[in-house]
Amino acid sequence: MSETIQTLLQENRTFPPSEAFKAQANANDAKIYETAAADPEGFWESWARQLDWFEPWHTVCDFKPPYAQWFVGGKINAAYNCIDRHANSTRSDKPAIIWEGEPGDSRTITYGEMLDEVSRLANALKSLGVGKGDRVSIYMPMVPELAFTMLACARIGAAHSVVFGGFSAESLEERTNDAQCKVIVTADGGWRRGHIVPLKATVDEAMDLGCPSVTNILVLKRSGQEGEITNGLPTPKYNEGSWVEGRDIWWHDIVPQQSTDCPCESMDSEDLLFILYTSGSTGKPKGITHTTGGYLTGTFATSKLVFDLKDNDIHFCTADCGWVTGHSYVVYGPMANGATVLMYEGAPDAPDKDRFWRIVEKHKATILYTAPTAIRAFMKWGIQYPDGCDMSSLRLLGSVGEPINPEAWMWYHEVIGKGRCPVVDTWWQTETGSIMISALPGITPTKPGSATQPFPGISVSVYSESGSSVEVTGPDQLHKATGGFLVLTKPWPSMTRGIFNDPARFQKTYWSRFENAYFAGDGVKLDEDGYLWLLGRVDDIMLVAGHNISTMEVESALVDHPSVAEAAVIGKTHEVKGQAIAAFVILRHGHENHPTLVDELKKHVAHKIGALARPDDIFISAELPKTRSGKIMRRLLRDVAEGRALGDTTTLADPNVVSALKDKYESSES
């Protein structure tokens, strides 16, 4: 990459951990980095030993790129580690899940109760013919039964494939067929922004499209049928779908009557725990696989150190279990630690824009883990919402999903954390299984916008196009500022074991760009303190007049302007410069567009970054096209800016947003 990128976006604020936080932290000695770097296998083995194994491993790691095996020969069960070992000891009466539904209903489930619930469900799945080595599709709202189902599968040795409840029938059908699932577990419906998401009806549509491997559909009654009163509220109208006798079974008809005795299958460390499909921007979704021993070790260790997880914490991760964040930091990581997780079903603005803060206040959450896209929405909505709630229980804040702009980081730190709570920006992927880059809150001074350092035992390098590298091994090394491709050069326990049934695509996507190194697909910049600054996907790097400029850096500069809430930047084909910068901007609450604003914003970017980053076009918009996981689809914005017909919009949360945007953009041009 060019020199330009190295000089962009200067950020000099640093926030060292407070003495008080440090004194109580699970990790507060920087030696952990040296110890882990000197012997990564020994480091990971020390974490694996803190799990309960039925039989020990004979080999810690066997790595034949692109595949690694961890704790080879060991026998273990993930559900045993997430439930039984807590239920059978001092944590039997400790809440495992505190849950809040969108309509305001709430439940608390202890580890003891969860053992019974999951065992009954596991027996029910067995009665439907599900056993070790089978696969189960899960298409459910964020209710405790979603976590129960994941763990019931793990208990009997079946792999789960959770499909986010916002995905379409086609998506569910495609994923169910790819994984050859025997059973789909769903609910009649789930609540989202005051409406019912008709899950069972969508499963019926998927079945009509054809899922020949599926023999049964297990249906939890969550929302109730039309006109029924559930949770004190009459149920609005929705498409009920059709009930197929013999195929479709109500949960309440077979689960409660099962025995609570269901021994855990002894699984090989390398047996499949789950498949999770990632909806790449093009092509068929990739079935990312994770196995048992290594995945659990990675999520267990990172939960304990990155979130500083303690027995008295209330861990609120706002991600849905349809995403890897929900797998690793709602279910497996926290529960392997015997923690209490706070789980919320619905939207952050239902019934009002203070919902998250009300939840934090009511349940006294101590840890909050959410995404930059949500944080920027909160900024847009205004501080009156968080300021109306008592959030003094919070002690740590986390961010995940995309680079967090320094301004959003500062807002999170000041408005939500009141300057008291360390902010951990955590970089990782569905493929990595657990957090790879993050501050350790009792050790690492943070810088707003930087994910800081690789987790102990993780080897990150920054490669140039040609593959020459700068290695990042620890905080005390000095590095020359440089930018390039993020690669992981050593295996780690929770790394994916490949794409389900597609080894060639796995090799090509991640392991062909550089020899024997995992290519993550993200751009990254290393500063003079050895801190990592994620720059987004490499296809989000623009080439403007021969200079590499990250869309994210221009976005951060825009969001830095007092009137801007959110910005999406793309490179638009340009005759002379190769690419010109075009920006789509949403204004903050209380700010209006005015005749000189666009010019002011262009100047602001030029001032913050340099004239070469000055956008050619800025378009003020009310909304941006986002995927269901909240990622801005820049590909579609490129189509809009370049006047092309819109490409595939099926992965968008709301396809209407982009077509309306296109119309307005085109009429503003003429």
Point out which residues bind ligand WT7 (CB under 6 A).
278, 323-325, 400-403, 425-430, 451, 520-522, 534, 536-537
- The least CB distance from residue 46 to ligand WT7, in Å, is 25
Rounded CA separation 466/44 (Å) = 31
| CB-nearer residue toward ligand WT7: 323 or 344 | 323
| CB-nearer residue toward ligand WT7: 265 or 425 | 425
| CB-nearer residue toward ligand WT7: 324 or 440 | 324
Rounded CA separation 282/302 (Å) = 31
- The least CB distance from residue 371 to ligand WT7, in Å, is 8
Q: Quick check: 456 and 42 in contact, CB under 8 A?
A: no
- The least CB distance from residue 422 to ligand WT7, in Å, is 15
| CB-nearer residue toward ligand WT7: 5 or 217 | 5
The number of C-alpha atoms within 13 Å of 410 and in the hemisphere containing its C-beta is 10
- The least CB distance from residue 535 to ligand WT7, in Å, is 8
- The least CB distance from residue 437 to ligand WT7, in Å, is 7
- The least CB distance from residue 612 to ligand WT7, in Å, is 23
Rounded CA separation 559/574 (Å) = 25
Task: Tell me the residue type at 139.
Answer: Y
Within 10 angstroms of residue 610's Cβ, the number of other Cβ atoms is 15
- The least CB distance from residue 522 to ligand WT7, in Å, is 5
| CB-nearer residue toward ligand WT7: 375 or 400 | 400
| CB-nearer residue toward ligand WT7: 154 or 306 | 306
Question: DSSP characters for 535-554?
Answer: EEEGGGEEEETTEEEEHHHH
The three-class DSSP label of residue 361 is helix
- φ, ψ of residue 487 to 5 degrees: the values are -130, 155
Residue 524: which H helix or E strand, with range? Answer: strand 518-526
- Unique residue bearing structure tokens 């050790």: 443
Rounded CA separation 47/155 (Å) = 22
Contact partners, residue 533, CB within 8 Å, separation at least 6 = 9, 403, 449, 450, 451, 524, 525, 526, 527
- The least CB distance from residue 146 to ligand WT7, in Å, is 18
- The least CB distance from residue 396 to ligand WT7, in Å, is 15
DSSP single-letter state for residue 167: S
The three-class DSSP label of residue 336 is helix
Rounded CA separation 532/483 (Å) = 9
Q: Kindly report the CA angle at 240 between 236 and 245, in degrees rounded to 5?
A: 150
| CB-nearer residue toward ligand WT7: 95 or 298 | 298
Q: Kindly report the CA angle at 125 between 121 and 130, in degrees rounded to 5?
A: 150
| CB-nearer residue toward ligand WT7: 411 or 665 | 411
| CB-nearer residue toward ligand WT7: 559 or 620 | 559
Counting every residue written for the chain, the total comes to 670
| CB-nearer residue toward ligand WT7: 520 or 597 | 520
| CB-nearer residue toward ligand WT7: 325 or 556 | 325
- The least CB distance from residue 451 to ligand WT7, in Å, is 5
| CB-nearer residue toward ligand WT7: 408 or 564 | 408
| CB-nearer residue toward ligand WT7: 378 or 385 | 378
Determine if the peptide bond prior to 144 is cis (ω within 30°): no
- The least CB distance from residue 627 to ligand WT7, in Å, is 9
Contact partners, residue 188, CB within 8 Å, separation at least 6 = 198, 199, 200, 219, 220, 221, 222, 223, 224, 225, 240
Residues paired with 610 in a beta bridge: none
In terms of Cα–Cα distance, which of 650, 408, 632, 436 is closest to 536? 632
| CB-nearer residue toward ligand WT7: 258 or 496 | 496
Q: What residue ranges in 73-162 does DSSP mark as E strands?
A: 75-76, 95-100, 106-110, 135-139, 159-162
In terms of Cα–Cα distance, which of 635, 633, 560, 657 is closest to 601? 560
Residue 530: which H helix or E strand, with range? Answer: none
- The least CB distance from residue 521 to ligand WT7, in Å, is 6
DSSP single-letter state for residue 411: H
| CB-nearer residue toward ligand WT7: 401 or 491 | 401
The three-class DSSP label of residue 146 is helix
- The least CB distance from residue 616 to ligand WT7, in Å, is 25
Across 377-416, b (16+ Cβ under 10 Å) vs e yields: bbbbbeeebbeeeebebbbbbbbbbbbbbbbbbbbbbebb
Q: Quick check: 149 and 185 in contact, CB under 8 A?
A: yes
- The least CB distance from residue 395 to ligand WT7, in Å, is 20
- The least CB distance from residue 630 to ligand WT7, in Å, is 9
- φ, ψ of residue 109 to 5 degrees: the values are -120, 125
In terms of Cα–Cα distance, which of 258, 366, 281, 371 is closest to 316? 366
